Every structure is written in structure tokens, then in C-alpha cells.
Amino acid sequence: MVQLVKGSRKSGATRRIYLSLRDQITSGVYDAGERLPSSRALAGELGVSRTTVTAAYDQLISEGYITVRQGAKPTVTSEGRHPYTRPASQAQEPTPQVSAYASRAMALPKNISAEQAALQYDFRYGDIASSDFPKLAWRRALNAAVLAYRERLGYEHPAGNLALRRALQGYLWRARGIECDITQIIVVSGSQQALDLCARVFVDPGGQVVLEEPCYPMARNVMLATGAMPVAIPCDKDGMDTSRLPVPKDVALAFVTPSHQFPLGGVLPSGRRKALIEWAISGNTYIIEDDYDGEYRYDVRPIPPLWMIGQGRVIYVGTVSKTLSPTLRLGYMVLPGTLAEPFVRCKQITDRHSSSFEQEALASMIETGAYESHVRKMRRLNAERRT
């Protein structure tokens, strides 16, 4: 007798019959060589159509649990007897042998907030109020991207959608004074991927990476997971104390937040900026400039990025996480020209490219001026909220 938990939804009947029979076969209720009821008999017994049972039997046949010969009842195969065993609990599974990278990642503090019910007062850092997201403008831009005529849907260039890179080229010039070629721009899945790509391109296990102290934890985590040796440089109210930098030639990479030190908030003064660049030049090393909220300055004019005096030693990283939303996972890098090739190769291996529709939507928001008008609105709103 086939045991079946009866459900009311007809569409799930085939799946329930399939699962029920599969469990009974693998757990030994049906032994190899035993016969199952004919599809007609089982359909009658369960009060379902014969097609429903036949579809479940077909699935069991294709997975090798049963065979059916013309006119005969389905027979349980010997191979089908134990192909699928579900451990009773995770505790019974052997400890996975993960890579050195994964082991280092697992040893880091877990920075994943549990799914939780809405808090009455939410002081978590980094999120954007849902009411601040420009829903209509984004929907319009995304609709246009999805509906735009294109011959085929295929992979894009790993560096990113051409329209977005063109739009970013103009935006970066207008908003941050950065003048670059579109071949120097790579669209990434948020700053986090930019940091990960920097680690892939420059850092081998044991390589020294200069970090601010205190430091943005997600930047430190990328470097620690890669196996880097962090060199922590203390920060004061003006950001990183560049007089404490180590001998540059031994350093693979440095990470700074010069426009708004995270988390202390200082702005790196020009003397320290020059010292940092000279240090990088003398050691032929590179500096990551994380300009995560460069659009937002309230008491002073926007701070020019380090990139502008960088003499080819600065990798500029920007994001829409603070202007639109971190949920979009969109960011961009501006690279010294000679670095474009290794970064494009690593980006392609990592995820081929960032999501095309979202890239196009952002491109059209920038091109129509909707992005910058939203940033201006956010700047105004944030300034009001500060007072």
C-alpha cells in the first residue's frame, strides 16, 4: 500500500507522489525487485488522475529508482535502493574540508545580521531609509532598460555596460573632478567587490597591506581572508597619520578613506595626501581610495579626491550604496590605465559582469539628470536632519 500524505492542491499531487515513493524506496519500505502498483491502481487508490501518477513514475524512472516494462508493473531497481540518503541531522555530516581562504573567512567576526523583525529604533549603520529611495525614477529607468529593443540577451563586457561607463565618466568629472578614459572605469557589485578585486590583483598570502586604525571592517576582512598581513596605521582627527607608514617597498597595497575617514570622520589634509602619494610612488605600490560618501559634505565644499593628485598610484572606488541604496549592489572603480587589464580579467572570472538591466537603469538615471537631482535632494534632506 503506497503511503501518501494527501494534500488539497492538485498541482502538487505529482510531486507528493514522487517524493513519497522515492522516500519509501530509499528507506527500504520497497526493496529492489519489488513491484509498485500499476498507475491505474494507484490513481484509483489516491483519487487522482492516471496522468498525475504517470508523471510521478516518469520522474522516478528518469532518476533510476524504478523501471517499467511494457504491460508490467513498475519495479524497484537495485541501484535505486540507496542512491539518496539524507543525513538525519547536520551533526552527522563530516566536517567539510574547506580551503585556506574559507578557513580564514570563517575565523573572522561574523558580520551578518540575522533576519529580524522590524526594530522600533534601528541604529544599525549603513542602511538607507526605504522612503529615501527614488522609487518612481528607478522604476522608470529599470522599465526602460528591460523594454529596450535588443537582438539578444547575452553577456556583456566584464568592465561594465558601455552606456553606464560613459555616463559615469561624465558624472565623475562633474561631481568629483575626475578626468579619465572609459577604459579606466570598471563597474562592480558595490565597493565590496572593488576591494575584493584589489586583493585578488595585488595581494598574495603574507603580503603586507596598510590599513587605517580604526578601519572599515569589511575592507580589513577582505584583506585578512586573502591572507594579507595587515599593517595598522593609527588615525587621529585628520585621518591616517602618514608619518607612521612602513617601508613602502614591502607593501602590496594601502587602503584609505581620505574624504571622510571611516569611522572617525576626519578629512585627510593636503600635507598627508602628498606624503601618502610620495610614499606609494617610492615603493611602486597602490592606494585604494574608498570614496563611499564623497557626494555628501555639509560644512565644507566636497573634498577633491586623492585620485586627482595620485600620479597613477590611486585606485578610486565609488558606490551608489549611500546615494541610492546598498540593495542595488552597484559601484565603480577608476583605475590607473595600466591596471585595467588585470582587473577586467579578475572581474570576469569572479562574476562575468554586474547585472546588465540595473547597469542600464543607472546609466539612464545619470544621463537624464535624475541621479544628480536625487543626490542634491538627499544632501538637502540629510543637512536638515542634522540640525
Candidate residues 169, 242, 257, 354; the one interacting with ligand PLP per rule CB under 6 A: 257
Question: Which of 79, 82, 51, 53 minimizes the C-alpha distance to 66?
Answer: 79
Listed ranges 244-252, 318-326, 363-371, 378-386: which one lies at the site for ligand PLP (CB under 6 A): 318-326
Listed ranges 7-15, 57-65, 186-194, 349-357: which one lies at the site for ligand PLP (CB under 6 A): 186-194
Q: How far is the CB of 264 from ligand PLP (least distance, A)?
A: 11
Candidate residues 191, 221, 242, 325; the one interacting with ligand PLP per rule CB under 6 A: 191
Q: How far is the CB of 194 from ligand PLP (least distance, A)?
A: 8
Q: How far is the CB of 66 from ligand PLP (least distance, A)?
A: 50
Site membership for ligand PLP, residue 359 (CB under 6 A) = no
Q: How far is the CB of 300 from ligand PLP (least distance, A)?
A: 19
Candidate residues 227, 326, 336, 342; the one interacting with ligand PLP per rule CB under 6 A: 326
Q: Which residue is nearest to ligand PLP (CB)?
A: 190
Site membership for ligand PLP, residue 319 (CB under 6 A) = yes
Site membership for ligand PLP, residue 216 (CB under 6 A) = yes
Which set of grid coordinates corresponds to residue 141?
529607468
Q: How far is the CB of 255 from ligand PLP (least distance, A)?
A: 9
Q: Specify burial of residue 77 (Cβ count, 10 A radius: 0-12, 13-18, 19+).
A: middle
* Three-class SS state of 341: helix
Candidate residues 212, 290, 295, 358; the one interacting with ligand PLP per rule CB under 6 A: 290
H helices within the chain, ranges in order? 13-26, 39-46, 50-62, 100-107, 135-147, 162-176, 190-202, 217-226, 270-283, 340-351, 356-368, 370-386
Task: Estimate the crossing angle of helix 100-107 against helix 217-226, to 10 degrees.
Answer: 150
Question: Which of 347, 330, 356 minimizes the C-alpha distance to 156?
Answer: 356
Candidate residues 171, 202, 292, 371; the one interacting with ligand PLP per rule CB under 6 A: 292
Which set of grid coordinates corresponds to residue 100?
585556506
Question: Which of 298, 212, 307 minimizes the C-alpha distance to 254?
Answer: 212
Question: Which of 233, 235, 250 minimizes the C-alpha distance to 285?
Answer: 250
Question: Which of 19, 28, 23, 22 minimizes the C-alpha distance to 66?
Answer: 22
Candidate residues 262, 279, 307, 316; the one interacting with ligand PLP per rule CB under 6 A: 262
d(Cα 297, Cα 380) in Å, to the nearest integer? 10
Interface with ligand PLP in residues 328-347 (CB under 6 A): 331
Site residues for ligand PLP per CB under 6 A: 126, 190-192, 216, 257, 262, 290, 292, 319, 321, 326, 331
